[in-house]
Structures are given as C-alpha cells and as structure tokens.
Structure 1
Amino acid sequence: MEFFKVKTVEETYQLIKQQIKPILPIVKKSLYEALHFVLAEDIYIKENVPNFRRSAVDGYAVKASDTFGTSESMPGFLTVTGEVKMGKTPPCDLSFGEAMYVPTGGMVPEASDSIVMVEHCEDLNGLLNVFKQIAPGENVISIGEDLVEGEILLTKGTRLRPQELGALASQGIIEVSVYRKPVVGYISTGDEIVPIETVKPALGEIRDMNGMTIGAMVMEWGYEFIHDGIVQDDEQELAKRSKALLEKVDCLILSGGSSVGTKDYSVNVIESLGKPGVFVHGISIKPGKPTILAVADGKPIIGLPGHPASAMVIFQLFARPILNEIQGYSQEEKQLAKARITKNIPSAPGRTDYIRVRLFQELGEWYAEPIFGKSSLISTFVKSEGLVEVPAPNEGVQKGDQVLVRLFNKG
C-alpha cells in the first residue's frame, strides 16, 4: 500500500460525510434519561403554548384605549375590580374604565387587550392612577405565540440539550425515540507504553497518557468508553485484540503505530478488520499528519498519532464528527469564538496548522495568545483553551488579526 496519500482537512471532512453512516439502533428513553441523546424521529407540537393569553409582566389588565393620553403630569384613573390568581381564571371580565391585577404568567381577562406595568401606575385603595399610555397587545403573550399546534417542534437528528427537553416537557411528552449513544473502544500500542499505575517507568518508557486523555474526552462528550489496555509492537497480537474489541464497540481507536516505521502495524491491522478499509492515511495538518481513518463493516476506526498533543488535536477535530455521524447527528458543532491574535504565526502554505492558544480579555475585547511548542509537549495543552486554525492557503497570521478560536469541548 502506498503510504501517506495525504488529504487536506476539507477533503477529510468530506470523506467522513461520505464514508461514515448512522449505525446505532433506536431506543426509547424517558425525558429524565434523554439528555445528550440524538432524536430518531421528528416531534410535532401537540398543543399551543401558551394555550391561554398570559401576562408578560406584573401589572394591571386594562383596555388600552383607557390609557390613551395619560402621562406623568396627566394620569388616567381606573377602578380596580379584582385580582387574577396564578393558575386560576379571572374572577370576572372587564368593562371600560376598569382594571384588574395580573401577576407575570397569569391569565389575562377576555375583554382586556393589554397590561400596564406596576411601575407605571399606582393603586390607591382601588383607584388606579395610570401614568403611561400603552398600545393594544402590549405586555400580553398571545395563544400560540411560543409554540403553534401542528408545527414541527424538533427534527430528527437533534441532540437533546436541557432546552429541548424543556420544550418536550411543555407538550406533555415523557418518552422519545433516540439513537443509542456510541460505545468507543481504545487500545494503546507500542513497546514503550506502560500503564499509568507504573510507579517508576524505566528509561525510555512512557505512561499511557493517551488512554487517559482520549477516554476523558469520550466520556466528556457523554459516550461510553472501554480501555482495552496496551499492546506491544506485535502485529498478530494487535490484530487479535483489535478484532475482539471491535465486536464489542461502535468505534475503535488505536493510538500509536500510524507513522512510517518497521514496527508500525496499525494500517495493516486496520485493513484486515473489514471492508472497505482505510479511506484516509495522512492529513495535511500540523500537528497530527500520520492519522488513519477507516471503516470496517460499517464501524469507524481511528488510528491516532502517538504524541499526546497530536492525538488530542486529531481526536478533537475528527473523532467528534465521526461519532456524531454514527449517532445520526450531522449538524455542525458550534464552538467558535472571535479573538485578536497577540503574535505573528508563520505557516507553511499547503498545510493546515492548528495553534494552541490561551484566551484573555482586555478593555472589553478578547485576545488569543499562542502557546508555542513541539507537538509532543503536554504542557502546551495544559496551558491552552482552544485552537486557532491557519488554513492551508495562508502563509500565517499577523499580530492583531481577528481569528476564530475553536474552543476545547466542554461536553
């Protein structure tokens, strides 16, 4: 196989869209369990919200025409006829020259067309002084102004956040059909990798940091993670372990073994796991060029670089969209912020660079300070809060330029 038929970042995203398909079964979840699941069906509005006219403020229900011409210097006078209790219907209707107190969210009397805020009037033992003219409909939420019966509420493929769950609850929906969350399996490879519990690694050995960081990212995103341990540089053993783990999971991650080297077997192992096999072997990106993406009988496989910082960048950029696709969620993640770069950033044309940055605010404006260092340095990630992309056609970014910062995911 010819090594490193390098793809651009844009080509890689396009191939992910083409190659990765939803594979997860549909399950039923109560709203109490459905947070961060992806809807497997369209949900339609069953009831108008609100289903009665509500007051948007604490105030007095009136006929707007009764307030015309009123002002601080020339108040209007209305008779207070009662009060609306929360969750109850008005005790009576209104006639011209009358007003009724209504709390925020309370039902507006049928004959009233507006609410005058308490700040703009004064109740003197049943005589209401009104100091501001209001328009018909002011401070009143109409029937169906929020949600209209029969319209679509949420579309298939929507990830359920707290606000979506609240909207479903408003309709009395207590159970939804969703795609099961992905289970992600992980294997670290390399003779030099030892468990994190190792008290004192020998010279040349490295604790399995990638297993911790990648696993934490998967769990932060709300998915299940299985760490299947470490495999030394043994192609047959890696193939055996990978095949067994792939049967248990929806996505397989291999860390290390993706670059050129006599003991790098990952690409051969991945090709042996199923069809169609590898569709990306190398991305024109820094850090993380030696990346493998593949599909084996419908299940995605990701071969990450061994360097921890490179592995985290690649996993952040490409694993999340892959996991989204297999779960039926295809909307673009919105994790971008604007900031001004504080230093010049040189870049090689033809390669997309991702620079770690620290964010800070000065005089009301956000700034991104580059955290420079070799791709293998753990400390650069600990100090950073996001990534700035320098696109492949560019030769860099100039100090003071406004840039987009891809914020590290918070779940």
Structure 2
Amino acid sequence: MQFFKVKTVEETFALIEDIVQSIKVVEEIPLDQSLHRILAEDIIATESVPSFPRSTVDGYAVKAKETFGSSETMPGFLNVVGSVKMGEEATTPLSHGEAIYIPTGGMMPPNSDSVIMIEHCEDLSGLLNTYKQVAPGENVIQIGEDVKEGDVLITKGTKLRPQELGAIAAIGKTQVAVFKQLTIGYLSSGDEIVPYETEQIQIGQVRDINALTITSLVQEWGAKAIYAGIVSDDYTEYQQRAEELFKEVDCLVLSGGSSVGAKDYTTQVIESLGEPGVYIHGISIKPGKPTILAMAGDKPVIGLPGHPASAMIIFSLFGGEIIKKLSGEISGNRLDRVQVRLTKNIHSSMGRTDYIRVKLIEQEGEWWAEPIIGKSGLISTLVQSDAVVEIKSEFEGARQGDFVPAILLR
C-alpha cells in the first residue's frame, strides 16, 4: 500500500465542507433538556421582552426634565407620592413635581420617563432631594428593547448554550425543535492494543488510550459515543466489526491502522463499507499524516493514526469539523484560536502544516507559547500542553517573538 490522495490542510477542510451534509432527523424536546443541542428551526419571538417599561436600578421614577440642573450643591426637590411593588402593574400616574420609589425590575409608572438612582438622591420624610440630573430614558429598559415581537431571536443551526436557553425561556417557549443527537462509533485496531483497564500489560502491549481521548472529545462536543472495543489485525474480523458498528452510528472512527504497514487494513475495510469510499489518504500535516477521510453513503468515516497525540490532534481538527457539519451546526467555530508569541524558534518544512504543542505563559500582559517537543506517540506532551500553534505550509517555521495562531486545547 502507498499513500495516495494526499491533501493539504486547507484542501481537507474544503472537502469536509463540500461532502459532509447535515443530518435531517429532527425531534422536539423540552427546553430544559436542550443544552448543547443544535436548533433545527428559527426561533421567532412571539412577544416582546420586556412587555412593559422596567427600571434597571433601585431609585425613583421621575420626569427627567424635572431633575435638570440638580447637583450636590444645588439639589432639586420632588414629592414622593408612593412606590411600585414588584410583580404588580403600576397604575398611579406621575404628576408635575412628583417622584415614585421603584425597585430594580419594577414597572415604570405612567407619565414617568426615567429613574434617578437611589445613590443620587435622598428621601427626607417624603421630600426627595435630587443631587444629579438624569436624561429621558436613563436607567429604563423600554418595551421590546431586549426582544421585539416578530424578530428572529435565534437562528437555525445554533448550538444552544445557557444564554440561548434563557432567551427562549423569556418568550415563554418550553419545547424546541433540534436535530437528532449524533452517535459516533469508535473502534480500535491492533494486535498490540489491550483495554485501558488492563492492570498488568505484557511486553509489547499498549493500553488503548485513544478509547478515552477520542470518545471524550465526542461527548464534549455534545454527541453520543459508542466504543466498540479492540479488533485484532485480521481483515475478516476487522471488516465484520466495523460493518456492524457502522450500521448503528452517524459517523465511524477507526484508529490504529491508517499507515502503510503490511497489516494495516483500515483502507480496505473503509472501502468495503460502501461508495464513494476514500477521498483522502494522507494529509500534509505533522503530526498525523496517515489520516484517512472517506464517505460511505451519507456517513463520514475517519481513519486516525494510532499514536495518541497524533490521533487526538487530528480528531480535534478534522473530526470536530466533520461532527460540527454533520450535526447541523452553523454558528461559531469549534476551534478557539488566539494569537500568541513564541518563546523560541520553531523549524517547519514547507509544504506541510505543523501543529506544535505548547504551554501558554503570560508575561507582561501578553501570552507566550513555550514549545513542548516530543514524538507523536507521547500522550504526556498533551497533558503538559495548553494549545497547539499552527505553522502553515508556506512557511519554513517561525522565529522567537513572532505572533502565531494557537488552537486552545480545552
């Protein structure tokens, strides 16, 4: 077997955008169970929020013009004629020369247009001394200022965070339509691989670290993970187990057999799952060149390198993008990028995008990246890392002090 269909990082992302389609299955679920799910419809505001003008502070509802000229040395004077109770409609209109006490969130009385903060006035037995002037509308949220009836509150494809749930709850909606939660299947291969729970391993054996790192990433992204165990380097067994798992999932991930070894059957197994088959076998990237991306019907199939650091970085980059696209999510970017400065020179080869593990250090208000050098099989290098810096294929590295993009490892 030889590497073929090798693509650049940019070509790989473009291919994912082109060939991976969002799932179509939609379900309606209670709002309080929808955290991190992907919205399958636009949420249209059925009412305005707030539905009445509200105070944003504790203070006194006033007519702004009647505070003009007020100061510490020359206060204004208003008569306090009542108070607003929380949760009740304010019906007493404000007349000339009057003020009404109002708590934060209280409804503005008729004829009032602003609120003077309690810190800027003093109630002396019903006579309010105002020590500051306020402008019309100051310290007041108007009807629909937060949400206007008829507006698109949240768009289809948004991943629902706590703030989106709060906004939906504000308009009284208790059920939401979301895309079906993805199920991602993961299968390890290799005669040397043993379950990570194995207490005593034999010489030549390796615990299945990827079983935890990859499935944990899947869960972190809001999908379900099915771990199907370990398969030996036998084509018939490998193909059968992969096919069984493939039928249960929306995306299949295979790890440990994507290089050019005599017993690496991953490409053959993937091709057996259906057309169109393998699109990419090899990416111009370090670590993780022997990566496979394929489609079998409408399902993506990913072949990861077996080395733990390589597998995790590759899956974070491309697996995350595939799952995001498949889930129907269109908002945001799964990869959090920041600009950091390098503490030392980094060498890179032109024609290949390098992702260097780094520890982030804050110095004098700037973030610096300290490279952590280690082979792709060392999981400890990821434990020590806060991010990976990206050295694009058109550069031969980066110099100490240069700004480079870093992808945070969360």
Written as runs of structure 1 = structure 2, the 5 A alignment for 1:174-213 is: 174-213=174-213
Residue 272 of structure 1 is matched in structure 2 by 272
Amino acid at match of 1:118: I
Instruction: Give per-residue Cα distances to partners, 1:335-366, cap 9 Å, x unaligned.
Output: 12232221111111111111111122233322
TM-superposition CA deviations, 1:200-247 (whole Å, max 9, x none): 222111111111211111122222111111111111111111111101
CA distance in 1, matches of 2:121, 2:233: 81
- Quick check: 1:350 aligned with 2:338? no
Give the whole-Å Cα distance in 2 for the aligned partners of 1:262 and 1:243.
22
Alpha-carbon displacement from aligned partner over 1:146-186 (angstroms, at most 9, x marks no partner) = 11111101111111111111111011110011111111111
- Report the equivalent of 1:401: 402
SS in 2 for 1:187: strand
Map 1:7-406 → 2, pairs under 5 A: 7-331=7-331, 332-333=333-334, 335-406=336-407
Q: Is the 8 A contact 1:24 1:182 kept in 2?
A: no
What amino acid does structure 2 have at the position aligned with 1:232?
Answer: S
Question: CA offset at residue 91 of structure 1?
Answer: 5.0
Letter in 1 for 2:110: E
CA distance in 2, matches of 1:79, 1:401: 65
Aligned mates of 1:365, 1:186 — CA distance in 2 = 39
Report the secondary structure of 1:38's partner residue.
Answer: coil
Task: Write out per-residue CA displacement over residues 7-56 of structure 1, whole angstroms, 9 at most, x where no aligned residue.
Answer: 11110011001111112511111011111110111110111111100111
Q: Tell me if structure 2 keeps the 8 A contact 1:82–1:91.
A: no
Residue 277 of structure 2 aligns to a residue whose secondary structure is: strand
Q: Deviations over 1:241-272 (max 9, x none)?
A: 11111011111110011111111110011011
After superposition, the Cα gap between the structure-2 partners of 1:65 and 1:132, relative to the gap in structure 1 and judged at 3 Å, is same
- In the aligned structure 1, how far is the partner of 2:215 from the partner of 2:165? 27
Q: Find the residue that maps to 1:95 and give its secondary structure.
A: coil
C-alpha distance in 2 between matches for 1:238 and 1:24 = 30
In 2: Cα distance, 1:130 partner to 1:400 partner: 56
* CA distance in structure 1 between the aligned counterparts of 2:403 and 2:128, rounded to whole angstroms: 55
d(CA) in 2 for partners of 1:143 and 1:395?
58
- Distance across 2 between alignment mates of 1:250 and 1:24: 11
Could you tell me which amino acid in structure 1 is paired with residue 324 of structure 2?
Answer: N
Identity of aligned residues (%): 58
Deviation track 1:107-156 (CA, whole Å, cap 9, x = no partner) reads 11120111111111111111111011111111111111111111101111
**1:199 Cα shift?**
2.4
Shift of 1:403: 2.5
Q: Distance in 1 between matches of 2:133 and 2:198?
A: 76
Local SS of the residue matching 1:35: coil
Shift of 1:2: 5.9
Q: Whole-Å Cα distance in 2 between the matches of residues 90 and 248 of structure 1?
A: 59
Question: Any conservation in 1 of the 2:335–2:408 contact (CA below 8 Å)?
Answer: no
Instruction: For residue 4 of structure 1, report the CA deviation from its aligned partner.
Output: 2.7
Write the letter of the residue equivalent to 1:387.
V
How far is 1:377 from its partner? 1.2
CA–CA separation in structure 2 for the residues paired with 1:390 and 1:319:
20
What SS does the aligned partner of 2:147 have?
coil
Amino acid of the structure 2 residue aligned with 1:401: D
Unaligned ranges ≥5, structure 2: none
Give distance in 1, aligned partners of 2:45 and 2:212.
43
How far apart are the structure 2 equivalents of 1:105 and 1:364? Answer: 38
